Amino acid sequence: MAKAKQVRGMGGMDDAAHPAILVMGVSGSGKTSVAVALAERLGALFVEADDHHPPANVAAMAKGIPLTDELRRPWLEAVGEAVAERRAEGPVVLACSALKRRYRDVLRRRAGPLDVVHLTAPRALIFGRMAARRDHFMPAALLDSQIADLEAPGPAEDPVILDAALPVDTLARHAATALALRHPRLATRSHGGNVG
């Protein structure tokens, strides 16, 4: 079952399929923090992709073993299905690494169209964040494998690209502003009735 939380905002949407927003980037880029803040700003549901990893995946990563595509695929399918289920209720913000284009395509096949927010930052900044974490299964040693795997979304995916070095609230505000231009009714759900 999808582990998600409803973050209540103003207004409502009558669309059969609400917007689904993927906040992506390598581990340590701040995906979860920004996605939670963005969901709060938009009054959206939040889905954490890491909650859908099977125990074998978590154990492998905790040992510093990168996941293979074979291990990732069922996880991505489960994440996509969770988003599809939740977006029937309202807008969804998903935090997921989604490093390669084909991973994002798996999500789209299960979840439907996705707006992409890509968090980027220099390796040194992200490594420092990962090294300081004490409550996450992903070790800093796996950062280089994630950077090597990363296929940054190009123009065809029309991403919102943000500098992950900025404060979380600033990143959420910038993302919400860009997304409201694509989905005007998202602005009515945000705190205070507008984004910016």
pLDDT at 66: 74
Its pTM stands at 0.79
Question: So what's the pLDDT on residue 123?
Answer: 76
Pairing of strands 45-48, 4-6: antiparallel
Nearest partner of 53 among 76, 33, 35, judged by Cα:
76
**What are the average pLDDT values for consecutive 10-residue runs of the chain, which has 196 residues?**
36 57 90 95 94 80 76 91 94 95 96 96 73 55 76 96 95 96 80 38
Neighbours of 13 (CB within 10 A): 16
The residue ranges of every structural domain in the chain are 4-193
- Regarding beta strands 20-24 and 4-6, do their DSSP bridges make them parallel or antiparallel, or are they unpaired? unpaired
> Is CATH 1.10.760.10 the right assignment for the domain spanning 4-193?
no
State the pLDDT at residue 164.
92
Tell me which residue of 182, 181, 175 sits closest to 25, measured CA to CA: 175
The 10 Å Cβ neighbour count of residue 170 is 13
